[in-house]
A and B are shown apart, each in its own frame.
Chain A
């Protein structure tokens, strides 16, 4: 990947503020806990506190999430496990603020991402009035504020936090090629390094050009020689060397694919390579266009930083944002000419090629065997497993800190699921993104996750490191779940089922939401929701059966 020139710190970074008071809302809820040690270590990238999301429907108010708290540390994979209706997908969509706004509303809570509260300003977005005589609530939404909230999320969505979804076959736009779609994501989130790289590589300084030409010629000669050997490893190294010589790593990827099948006659491919090199010669209109794009991307980045600052300080930065917006509009106006039919295709060519080969490199990273064909192709040509890989590539293109995977393998066959899980394990060790894996399959969790949060009916009931959870499940619900799974290694085990069914979230049970189905229910369970207590290293449970110290948040 192109080495990024450090983005200048446009805005000063203030010291972290004291924690904010919880905003007023329809009803108070008990403060749930987060792990104290994580804060001490200080590498928590996502801290969800007391998240409440309600859906206001014709049949009543569905209390989908009622005080969900957990955190995710850098590089770890957290599994969010629960059955249908427990609220795990709602949690994911709440974090990225993609809840369908009628009928849903995030009521309350804090989601701290790198110190910024993503839910800042939530309380001003709507007013609530319960209607007498029915169980419905009249919600007056202030759309301007809701829009502002959504604009703020653009600073984080896709960039710092990206998401992959359940149905890969319908998650990609069928009329655009794969490379078009991934390029869009690439430019949006990593555009600055790409564009800068291109501009730097196409310098007009005669001295650099001369030196570079010499290096390029040498690299080409090396490539031709190595291509004859038909060894992918050395070809890769040679291609990378070529890329370095030319000053643009994507040229290295391109060289690799040009020469990969050319072991019989590499000489014939050299003109193709030289044609690719022309990408470096930006001049005139093309160069201006790229500079224009660079300027737009920088301004966009400034805007994102302004939003992050707003969410961190809790103070609106309207003046600064307006100034940036004004500059952006100015820039766009100046760039109107590039939108004329015909011009855009011409000036865009270099950038498009650049992003195409970056896409190919990304697709290589997710173990797709023939990335060039896939990148040129369209979503309908690919199977579910390939599409899921493409989605993962797209999500990782922005090098996010957190990847939210919402049931990524549920729609896939078992053997393809195995491939995707292997890919995820590989990515974990190679890239080190934190993953929030949402699934109902306890087997998948056992294979991939480091820590597990078990959810039931909108509450987190147990949090534990993965081995600990399977060895000593504490909460009766977790125990019931583990007992009802048919196990390949224990074929004669009787399948125990949990009596009763998932509660109606419009009228959830009082106190602990599991008590109607719990074999160990006590009178206390009906009265109040049990707090999360610490029962071991990193192991927390919300159950009155256990008397550990209450976890602090």
Chain B
């Protein structure tokens, strides 16, 4: 199930989103809620990336950032970088990653690399695109929401709801649009007669299908699925997941499957990213993650899922304490207040995300990174090879 060879669709690099907290006499900026604090991962074409974590970890925000529904505080998301550019980005970020400060700033020594990065970003980063280009891209990047009850406008007919994206982009005549709506409804397993109904006449599962049909209207490449089945019953969930898989096979869609149900993610995703309080703690292909969870948080998550088999005895890792608030995260590693394997260093230094083996990355002091030279640790730039494979980029 590993599609490592296919092209990169979205490359999320060091994205941060801070929400300012205002307080005091003149609504001064007294702090930040660090909802997303340096998240990086790739989404390849036609594959599903699972994003897991509990409430408050920032996964919903990441989903919206990928679609540019909100603007990030810093970082880039590169859309469809060609393979050479992608390789270049890999090298650049490999060097730069250890040098990023806690808020995404870079030391001055990294300036030349930064300017090169800037050039690439100007062309490929979603956040630097003009409004016009972004608008055209909207059709390719879609979202399906968690709550099937509030994601469909209650006063509009299904026909209008699903054809709205087409109408916004002025595609085709009205009758052509309605024909497409009927096709879309059939594709998700609904009867085309349902065009003429209102959302409140449908059950949760059916509404979720309508939401999926709406997302498919503009033939997207990539859909963010924000907990699409959390509000649904188990049997309906199975129906929706089957439909999603079918559509992925038929149309080569890529998904970002956001969920806190690890068992569902295991059934759907090719690769999994685990987040905690705004940071990525582990990132791996699905089977690797579930067979060999490295980070203590991942292990606790896996152990916490109730298994519908009363005879199965297993190790119960119950974490103590509550999830801290993202407005005042713990120092050092954010998980150290609840970690069963906590060490003294954990409260001081935030472990970086390092490659453990193959495609399995983890951010934990239990798995220290390979030794680096002192110069690199001090932040000096590594000299790059003089022949860069990058094609000339318009400045």
Contact = CB atoms under 8 A, between A and B. Distances in A.
Touching chains A and B, CB distance < 8 Å? yes
A488 B306 CA distance: 9
A446 B290 contact: no
B260 A501 contact: no
Nearest to B310: A446
A498 interface: yes
Given A416-B322, A446-B309, A486-B264, A501 B238 contact: no
Interface string A412-452: 01111111011000000000000000001111111100000
B206 to A, nearest CB: 7
Given A83-B233, A501-B205, A470 B308 contact: yes
Contacts, number: 126
Interface in B239-273: 239, 241-242, 260-264, 266-267
A79 B213 CA distance: 37
**Size bracket of the B interface:** 35 or more
Interface string A516-552: 0000000000000000000000000000000000000
Interface stretch (A11-19, A28-36, A322-330, A477-485): A477-485
A486 B239 contact: no
A443 B301 contact: no
Contacts of A386: 322
Nearest to A495: B238
Residue among A83, A84, A414, A471 facing the most chain B CB atoms (10 A cut-off):
A414
Nearest to B56: A413
Contacts of B242: 495, 497
Contacts of A383: 322-323
B204 A84 contact: yes
A83 B235 contact: yes
A453 interface: no
B235 A488 contact: no
B55 interface: yes
Contacts of B301: 414-415
A489 B305 CA distance: 11
A159 interface: no
**Size bracket of the A interface:** 35 or more
Contacts of A445: 308
Contacts of B238: 484, 486, 495-498
B113 to A, nearest CB: 39
A71 B238 CA distance: 32
Interface stretch (B100-108, B311-319, B368-376): B311-319
B263 A488 contact: yes
B309 A415 contact: no
Nearest to B297: A415
A228 B300 CA distance: 37
Given A385-B322, A446-B307, 14 more contacts: A83-B235, A84-B204, A369-B320, A383-B322, A413-B260, A414-B262, A414-B305, A418-B303, A482-B308, A486-B263, A488-B302, A488-B307, A489-B307, A491-B267
25 contacts: A83-B235, A83-B236, A84-B204, A369-B320, A383-B322, A385-B322, A413-B323, A414-B261, A415-B301, A417-B304, A417-B306, A418-B318, A440-B233, A442-B234, A443-B305, A443-B306, A444-B306, A446-B307, A470-B309, A481-B235, A486-B266, A489-B312, A491-B267, A498-B235, A502-B203
